[in-house]
């Protein structure tokens, strides 16, 4: 009886530790196997040596308990990285409709509970894909060290947008296709969390020129539409325009220069 009580107590302690390590993994966006024992001990409120005694000298028992809970402890690249990569490939190959958590788990080589541990459902996963494969990283980098001249800012913004559309796997065309076909679909839901950061970068890049009197006092959304609308339309129509118009159609680089000049003529205040 005493041995049974000891075993039951050991299982209870492991169950408690599983909850602790899953929470720590979720907070860090990492696999369970990538969360150091020191961090697990701190979350559990014990020393590392005490934690090791509870685990019998190694973390193998904890990893096995995590597996029994339905979560892959990992040890490869973090589940977050593998899942974002797998989802991006599925989006580019088959469109957003193919991106189910089951399909992502299969391609990423992880379990469904692992995905739920790292992401807040399918929309959370898609939001992470958009953030990584859209123009936001380049725009935030540009906003962190903005050019002094408005002309250079506009050209830098165009380069960021073009690079995001051309980046492999090509996620942005599928996102826009879903936005146009389903205004309340998964792309729109995930983009709602993305748009404020996008406009924050645009405000840091454009509003100083407005405040300095170089640019007309236009609302930021209007400036953004005047700036980005032409180049986004040009890129989205590329599969139709290029085969049809051939050499008569300016290249994307030439179009960026033409659109930049047109934007500057439209918004720069006359001396």
Evaluate whether residue 127 is within a structural domain.
Answer: no
- H-helix or E-strand spanning residue 247: none
Residues 141, 197, single domain; the answer is: yes
Q: Which residues contact 75 (CB under 8 A, 6 or more apart)?
A: 31, 33, 34
Cβ pair 131, 187 in contact under 8 A: no
Residues 63, 97, single domain; the answer is: no
Evaluate whether residue 129 is within a structural domain.
Answer: no
Residues 195, 115, single domain; the answer is: no
Q: What share of the chain is helix, strand, coil (3-state, %, to 5)?
A: 75, 0, 25
pLDDT attached to residue 75: 56
Six-digit token pair at 123? 């929309």
Can you tell me whether residue 215 is helix, strand or coil?
Answer: strand
Q: Chunk the chain into consecutive blocks of 10 residues (it has 271) and report each block's average pLDDT, rounded to whole numbers.
A: 40 75 82 81 86 79 80 72 92 87 89 84 88 90 94 95 91 87 81 86 95 94 95 91 88 94 93 66
Evaluate whether residue 157 is within a structural domain.
Answer: yes
Give me the CATH number covering residue 238: 1.10.357.10
Residues 159, 234, single domain; the answer is: yes
Q: Which residues contact 232 (CB under 8 A, 6 or more apart)?
A: 161, 176
When divided into structural domains, the chain yields a total of 3
Residues 175, 235, single domain; the answer is: yes
pLDDT attached to residue 8: 42
Q: What range does the domain containing 103 cover?
A: 79-120
Residues 50, 87, single domain; the answer is: no
pLDDT attached to residue 11: 54
Residues 248, 203, single domain; the answer is: yes
Residues 105, 49, single domain; the answer is: no
pLDDT attached to residue 271: 66
Six-digit token pair at 20? 């602790």
Evaluate whether residue 96 is within a structural domain.
Answer: yes
Give me the CATH number covering residue 108: 1.10.10.60
From the list 78, 183, 163, 162, the residue with the least C-alpha distance to 128 is: 78
> What is the pTM assigned to this prediction?
0.68
pLDDT attached to residue 195: 86
Residues 244, 151, single domain; the answer is: yes
Residues 201, 254, single domain; the answer is: yes
Evaluate whether residue 125 is within a structural domain.
Answer: no
Residues 93, 61, single domain; the answer is: no
Residues 248, 156, single domain; the answer is: yes
Chain position carrying tokens 């977050």: 80
Evaluate whether residue 126 is within a structural domain.
Answer: no
Evaluate whether residue 189 is within a structural domain.
Answer: yes
pLDDT attached to residue 40: 86
pLDDT attached to residue 12: 58
Count of CB atoms situated within 10 Å of the CB of 152: 13
| Gap between the terminal Cα atoms of the chain | 92
Half-sphere CA count of 25, side-chain side, radius 13 A: 30
pLDDT attached to residue 4: 39
Evaluate whether residue 73 is within a structural domain.
Answer: no
């Amino acid at each position: 009886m005493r041995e049974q009580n000891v075993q039951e107590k050991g299982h209870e302690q492991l169950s408690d530790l599983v909850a602790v390590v899953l929470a720590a993994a979720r907070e860090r966006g990492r696999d369970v196997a990538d969360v150091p024992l020191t961090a697990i001990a701190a979350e559990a409120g014990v020393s590392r040596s005490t934690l090791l005694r509870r685990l019998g000298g190694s973390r193998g028992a904890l990893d096995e308990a995590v597996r029994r809970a339905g979560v892959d402890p990992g040890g490869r690249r973090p589940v977050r990285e593998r899942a974002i990569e797998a989802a991006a490939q599925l989006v580019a190959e088959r469109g957003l409709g193919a991106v189910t958590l089951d399909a992502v788990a299969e391609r990423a080589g992880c379990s469904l509970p692992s995905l739920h541990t790292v992401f807040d459902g399918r929309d959370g996963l898609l939001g992470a894909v958009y953030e990584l494969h859209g123009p936001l990283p380049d725009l935030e980098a540009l906003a962190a060290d903005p050019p002094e001249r408005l002309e250079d800012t506009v050209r830098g913004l165009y380069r960021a947008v073009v690079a995001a559309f051309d980046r492999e796997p090509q996620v942005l065309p599928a996102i826009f296709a879903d936005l146009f076909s389903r205004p309340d679909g998964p792309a729109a839901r995930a983009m709602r969390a993305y748009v404020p950061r996008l406009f924050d970068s645009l405000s840091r890049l454009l509003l100083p020129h407005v405040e300095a009197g170089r640019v007309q006092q236009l609302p930021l959304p209007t400036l953004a539409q005047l700036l980005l609308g032409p180049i986004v339309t040009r890129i989205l129509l590329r599969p139709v325009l290029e085969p049809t118009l051939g050499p008569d159609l300016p290249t994307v680089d030439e179009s960026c220069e033409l659109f930049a000049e047109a934007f500057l003529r439209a918004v720069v205040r006359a001396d």
